[in-house]
Amino acid sequence: MSADVGEQAGAGQPRVGGRVKTVVVTGASAGLGYHAAEQLAAAGHRVVLATRNRARAEAAERSIRRHVPTATLEHLHVDLADLDSVCAAAAALQDLGPVDALLNNAGVVGSRTERFTPQGVELQVGTNHLGHFALTGLVLPMLERTGGRVVHLGSIAHRWASLDRLDPFRVGHYVGYRQYGRSKLAVMLFGFELAERLADAGSAVASVVAHPGLALDTLGAQRPLVTPARDEPAWVRPGERLIAQGKDAGAHPLVHAAVGDGVRSGQYWGPGGPLQLRGPAAVVRAEPRAHDRAEAARLWLASESRSGVAFALDAFA
């Protein structure tokens, strides 16, 4: 980490490369996406705030500029649940110049009731995986020109998830937290499989999966314009800190995967502490099911069919 980044961002920040890069962060108006965007801006990078809600994006920009006055920020409207919006966003991104990294962070977490995207896909899988699958495929040629990276937001929830072997998008009996785990397993299967296919195609693009551990708003640096007010008693926090960390710390593996030194395609970055719940960014282990290439191939074919987006990897050979 350079001295100026350390002074702005404080101790514990991830290491970042020295060249200024353009990083697109989906879901940058709150939570992990916001903190990743702020950290990237503090490191001197140009950040594209890719969000669904313009008012929340503007609030996030005001907050980032309050803490990083020199921040270079752009806005990109995208609703990851709507594939038409994803296509429009990918086209608009062409006007913003070179892209060095795409941080696929946005997501729906544990919807209590079963909901669907405009294209009829269950909302959590449709947003967390399929929207990002389509966006990645459409933006990939831009990343190829810069030798960039795609970062996929995984989760420890993939440890308890499985996909239907005949139809990866099949839900069956809906349980919100279980469907969230499935969505994250799909994200990770895609991320690791993309790394393999990019390597086979001789592409310069890296595909990296990262996760935040157990990251809570209540333990992180407060950002009143974007962070929900703390509503639990203060005495709870010391216990929480034993097993969790703030979302600002949870963003460190994501930022490092996007712009850090020593990152290789196919790696999995997360907190290096016990059970990967908290701790400094490190290369960590994913469950074997996230590396199942037969499962990934089924998911890939189904995702291309559902999204209408095909990856032109042959063009990189």
The total number of structural domains in the chain stands at 1
In a domain, 4, yes or no: no
pLDDT reading at 37 higher than 80:
yes
Cβ-count burial 133-171 (b if 16+ within 10 Å, e if not): bbbbbbbbebbbeeebbbbbbbbbbbeebebeeeebbeb
pLDDT reading at 4 higher than 70:
no
In a domain, 14, yes or no: no
**What pLDDT is recorded for position 234?**
64
**How many Cβ atoms from other residues are within 10 Å of residue 17's Cβ?**
17
pLDDT reading at 235 higher than 80:
no
In this structure, what are the phi and psi dihedrals at residue 75, rounded to the nearest 5 degrees?
-115, 145
Least confident segment among 38-47, 106-115, 232-241: 232-241
pLDDT reading at 245 higher than 50:
yes
Over range 14-38, report the average pLDDT: 86
Over range 68-97, report the average pLDDT: 97
180 counts as catalytic: yes
Q: Are the C-beta atoms of residues 136 and 58 closer than 8 Å to each other? A: no
pLDDT reading at 162 higher than 60:
yes
Residues 6+ apart with CB under 8 A from 70: 44
- The structure tokens listed for 114 are 């079963």
- The structure tokens listed for 138 are 């459409």
Confidence of residue 19 (pLDDT cuts 50, 70, 90): confident
The CATH number assigned to the domain holding 44 equals 3.40.50.720
In a domain, 2, yes or no: no
C-alpha to C-alpha distances, 221 to 31, 215, 246, 254, nearest whole angstrom = 11, 12, 7, 17
In a domain, 7, yes or no: no
**Boundaries of domain holding 215:** 19-316
Catalytic residue among 34, 174, 177, 180: 180
- Work out the mean pLDDT of the chain and round it to a whole number: 91
pLDDT reading at 287 higher than 70:
yes
In a domain, 42, yes or no: yes
In a domain, 242, yes or no: yes
Q: What percent of the chain has pLDDT over 70?
A: 90
Instruction: Give the C-alpha separation, 162 to 248, whole Å.
Output: 29
In a domain, 11, yes or no: no
In a domain, 9, yes or no: no
